[in-house]
Amino acid sequence: MRVRHHPPIHLVVCGGSALIALRLVTRTTQDVDVLATLENGQLLCARPLPEWLLAAAEAVRSELSLPIHWLNDGPASKGVSS
């Protein structure tokens, strides 16, 4: 899926999805926990995630029958401050 009119966004993830991306585990996970975003070499708090990204995540959720909050910024409250 290509999101038009928005630059790429770099997400710093944690939890199961991060372990899968690093090939440290082979199990599945129900969500992607976003800790921060990376912009110009700086870690920024991911909360709140951009509306355009949430809209794209909703489209993916609908298409793939994923859980409602499959992409979430829950861990951002514990991580990088703005």
> What is the C-alpha to C-alpha distance for residues 59 and 66, in angstroms, rounded to an integer?
10
> What is the C-alpha to C-alpha distance for residues 63 and 24, in angstroms, rounded to an integer?
28
Backbone angles phi, psi at 62, to 5 degrees: -65, -45
> What is the C-alpha to C-alpha distance for residues 38 and 79, in angstroms, rounded to an integer?
13
Per-residue pLDDT of the chain (82 residues; tens, 9 = 90+): 566 788 889 999 999 999 999 999 999 999 999 999 999 999 999 999 999 999 999 999 999 999 999 999 988 877 655 5
Question: Token pair for residue 6?
Answer: 């928005």
The pLDDT score that the predictor gives to residue 7 is 83
* Domain ranges (residues) in the chain: 11-77
Helix (H, G, I), strand (E, B) or coil at 13: strand
> What is the C-alpha to C-alpha distance for residues 33 and 3, in angstroms, rounded to an integer?
20
The pLDDT score that the predictor gives to residue 6 is 84
